[in-house]
Structure 1
Amino acid sequence: MFVTHHNGRVTPGDLLALAAQSCVDAAKLLHDVQVDVSPKGTFDQVSTADVEVEAFLRAALVSGAPGSAVVGEELGSASAPVTWYVDPIDGTRNFVRGIPLSCISVAAAVNGQLVAGCVLDPFRDELFTAADGVPFTVRSTGLVIPPGSSPRPLVLTDIPLPGSPYSGEMQLLEDLLAVADVRRVYSTALSLAWVAAGRADAAANLGIHPWDVAAGEVLVRASGGEFVPVGSDGFVAGRGEIVSWLAERLEGIVS
């Protein structure tokens, strides 16, 4: 698929269409790929599926938008006026254990500004998309329950993380449990997509990289939520008072 040029330029909608189709095509690889796992650092993992999906996405995105560059989790980074942020399998630790909580995440930035993002949950066949000028949407072929409400805010977070350099995370979790319902998803991009869809009130994490959050940031902002960077590797995203509550406490941990 090639993006369409309008008056000599590519629109965010064009980039979104390319990203979404590339994610859908990449997900087909997961039906046949052999999943071999290797350690990546002390606490993380990488699978052959991560590498194969990222290689496919790189080829599809750069061929569809000639001259663009990719910042990816597994195969290196480069920059260009149009830059893609690619997480081939966000939630690898879930994926390699057969737990259906992972996703493919792709975002596009133009001159350093995020303009389009999509997150594909291949297990539920749900595609979350948004771009500048293109509203947030969810395409799902499965059972979808309209999000309801609960007496306490629902927060998605993986804090505390194993091997984290920050102290105070256990206390944060204890304080958070006193005011909110908490779920650990271990897929930051999927958590952000669910916040955008109204399934949770907020998400927060530390130790993240640009490819973890780029697409999710686009989705949350497009759905009317806030995305608040915290320190050099943290964020809070969502709606309501719980966002500022979390941001204040995370700032205290990373400062």
Structure 2
Amino acid sequence: MTLTPSSLELRSIAENAARTAGAYLKGVFRGDMTIDHKRDRHDLVTEHDRASEEIIVPLLLEGAPGSRIVGEEGGVRGGSGPVTWYIDPIDGTSNFAQGLAFFCVVVAAEVEGEIVAGVVYDPIADRLFAASDEGAFLDGESLVTGPALPAEAATLITGFPTARDLEADGPAALAEFGSLVDTFSSVRRTGSGALSIAHVAAGWTDSALGSSVNPWDVAASMLILLRAGGDYRPLWYDEAPTGGAHLAPGYVALRAGAEYPVLDEVSRAIVARRRG
């Protein structure tokens, strides 16, 4: 019988894997690299994405034998044990490929459909965000997101509208983006959803909106935000969703007590369009 590691043990395994991959990425950052495209010119991948994932996977399987791995680059592999890992070897590949220091390594552990441990590691800043049943942590110290600022003083991080949003939604997406720019003190497009949500958890920004994400993008940072006392609202485009919030294709992430009616209106409009 395979024993399921505790949440704390899974967090420790994830931290080791993320730090090891992060050390590799820091060493090759801003060096020569081969850049390919997956779906289109907006969706980059480098040899370092693949190399980073191949560093992470053996460490996870060593720490939790029989685990199932769901990775952005390698797809689904591994065994059928009680632990499923969601990994993004470089969240923010476009930034990494272009020399912008806003990217991260993401590792999250799921047990019985629930995310129980997660790590987001920023290798350039050397900041490790983590969460488990024990709480949320930044570089090993307890992390509490704190109260949100009012909209006129607050910052929103978002990738919306993406090129695909513009193709699907047309002028409506631009109008909604304009309303967000008009409402918040500042709106930033940073290029890494996982690191953006982690910054909300740290209290370095007040909110984040994502309209097209995968589980490996958000599973770890969602848990970090929730354990830090923030609010994670999944955006479901299926009227009968199943599974945990990390499986939703969109999200709104907020510091404690945030009330942003315009952000709520925009997120509802996105959901309504996706449901068609």
TM over 0.5: yes
Deviation of 1:245 after TM superposition, in Å, equals 4.2
**CA contact under 8 A between 1:115 and 1:131: conserved in structure 2?**
yes
Query: SS at the partner of 1:185?
Result: coil
Q: Closer, same or farther in 2 for the Cα pair 1:16/1:48, shift >3 Å?
A: same
Q: Closer, same or farther in 2 for the Cα pair 1:39/1:136, shift >3 Å?
A: same
Report which stretch shifted further, 76-85 or 194-203: 76-85
Q: Closer, same or farther in 2 for the Cα pair 1:252/1:211, shift >3 Å?
A: same
Write out per-residue CA displacement over residues 126-147 of structure 1, whole angstroms, 9 at most, x where no aligned residue: 0001112x2211119xxxxx99
Q: For residues 215 and 195 of structure 1, what CA distance do their matches in structure 2 show?
A: 13
Report which stretch shifted further, 146-155 or 206-215: 146-155
Residue of structure 2 in register with 1:171 after alignment: 175
**2:203 matches 1:198:** yes
Give 1:1-255 correspondences, 5 Å limit.
Answer: 8-30=3-25, 31-32=27-28, 35-42=33-40, 43-78=42-77, 80-132=81-133, 134-139=134-139, 151-164=152-165, 165-167=167-169, 168-180=172-184, 181-232=186-237, 233-239=249-255, 240-242=257-259, 245-255=262-272
Deviation of 1:243 after TM superposition, in Å, equals 5.5
Deviation of 1:149 after TM superposition, in Å, equals 5.6
**CA contact under 8 A between 2:180 and 2:262: conserved in structure 1?**
no
Determine which structure has the larger helix proportion and give its number.
2
Q: Which runs of 5+ in 1 are unaligned?
A: 141-145
Q: Closer, same or farther in 2 for the Cα pair 1:138/1:241, shift >3 Å?
A: closer
Between the two proteins, what is the percent identity of the paired residues? Answer: 36
**CA contact under 8 A between 2:193 and 2:218: conserved in structure 1?**
yes
Off by >3 Å, runs of 4+ in structure 1: 146-151, 240-245
Q: Aligned letter for 2:135?
A: P
Deviation of 1:26 after TM superposition, in Å, equals 1.1
TM-score, normalising length: structure 1: 0.88
Report which stretch shifted further, 228-237 or 13-22: 228-237
TM-score, normalising length: structure 2: 0.82
Deviation of 1:29 after TM superposition, in Å, equals 1.6
Residue of structure 1 in register with 2:244 after alignment: none
Deviation of 1:184 after TM superposition, in Å, equals 0.8
Deviation of 1:81 after TM superposition, in Å, equals 2.0
Deviation of 1:148 after TM superposition, in Å, equals 9.8
Deviation of 1:163 after TM superposition, in Å, equals 2.4
Residue of structure 2 in register with 1:143 after alignment: none
Q: For residues 192 and 217 of structure 2, what CA distance do their matches in structure 1 show?
A: 8
Deviation of 1:223 after TM superposition, in Å, equals 0.6
Query: SS at the partner of 2:45?
Result: strand
Q: What RMSD, in angstroms, separates the aligned Cα atoms of the two structures?
A: 2.2
Q: For residues 44 and 117 of structure 2, what CA distance do their matches in structure 1 show?
A: 28
Equivalenced residue count is 243
